[in-house]
Amino acid sequence: MPVLFCGRKARPRNTGGTPIAEPRVNERIRVKRVRLIAPDGGQIGEKDIDEARWLAAQLGLDLVEVAPEARPPVVRMMDYGKYKYDQSVKAREARKNQTRTVIKEVQFRPKIGASDFEVKRKRVVKFLRQGDKVKCTMRFRGREVAHPELGRDILQRLYEKVEPYAEIETMPRLDGRNMTMVLVPASDMPKDDAFESDTTDSGDDYGSDEIDDIEALEEVAEADDVDDVEEVDRTEDGVGDDDTDDASESE
């Protein structure tokens, strides 16, 4: 004999993770008595649900449940379509006015020259004045990674140059062959261009110590390149000697 199950049909579960915020409207309101609110916000009082629906229909409006947890639930007469449109416009305006955090990246090399450093410094200042975070990346190649302190000195010098506009969020940190430092706009950033006018466009605003550091860095890189060339030359010389010996034996 088949078994019949009687009872309420299970409602579909919301699996999206976000609770459904859609209010119950008109016939979906299934309580017997409600507290009715007029379209202008005035209190009408407790009414039977059928009477509340009839009053809303006479005005050409919808009956919307605005406080389902109240006892009795609170419903309001309104144009629900217009209400949903107004809510979507407000949400769109709120998203438009939100401040988005943008991270801009400026890359450096250990052998950067004075003029290139000045160009990148001005680019960092431009991004900071626009309200963006700046990720300063020092890229090492070959044996340059053996001297991370030189790249760290350049990033520290950069921060000292843009200090009126920036605060350090992440200190220089070596990750593989890259060293990164994150700057954020300063809370008391100057509004005028007085800081920009202190530096010239030629980029020759380095001190003697800074120039010595750059020259030392270039010497290290050049020495590394020379070592590589010498190894290649020795290999080529060895190949030539073997060929010469083979030729002499054949003779």
Q: What is the pLDDT of residue 184?
A: 93
Cα atoms found within 13 Å of the Cα of residue 87, Cβ hemisphere only: 8
Q: With b meaning 16 or more CB within 10 Å and e meaning fewer, what string describes 24-41?
A: bebeebeeeebbbbeeee
Q: What stretch of H or E contains 194?
A: helix 194-197
- Confidence check: pLDDT of 232 > 70: no
Higher pLDDT, 96 or 76: 76
Every domain of the chain with CATH number 3.10.20.80 lies at: 26-82
Find the mean pLDDT for residues 4-32. Answer: 65
Specify the 3-state DSSP secondary structure of 140. Answer: coil
- Confidence check: pLDDT of 208 > 50: no
- Confidence check: pLDDT of 182 > 80: yes
Confidence of residue 100 (pLDDT cuts 50, 70, 90): confident
Whole-number Cα distances in Å, 96 to 83, 93, 185: 20, 5, 21
Locate tokens 């199950």: which residue? 5
Say how far apart CA 211 and CA 186 lie, in whole Å: 28
Say how far apart CA 200 and CA 221 lie, in whole Å: 29
Q: What is the pLDDT of residue 4?
A: 53
Every domain of the chain with CATH number 3.30.110.10 lies at: 103-224
Confidence of residue 231 (pLDDT cuts 50, 70, 90): very low
CATH architecture of structural domain 103-224: 2-Layer Sandwich (3.30)
pTM of the model: 0.44
DSSP code of residue 25:
B
Find the mean pLDDT for residues 205-223. Answer: 46
- Confidence check: pLDDT of 244 > 60: no
Sign of CA dihedral 228, 232, 237, 242: positive
Residue 136: strand pairing partners: 106, 181
Q: What stretch of H or E contains 62?
A: strand 62-67
The listed CATH number (1.20.140.160, 3.10.20.80, 2.170.120.30, 3.30.420.340) that belongs to domain 26-82: 3.10.20.80
Q: What is the pLDDT of residue 99?
A: 67
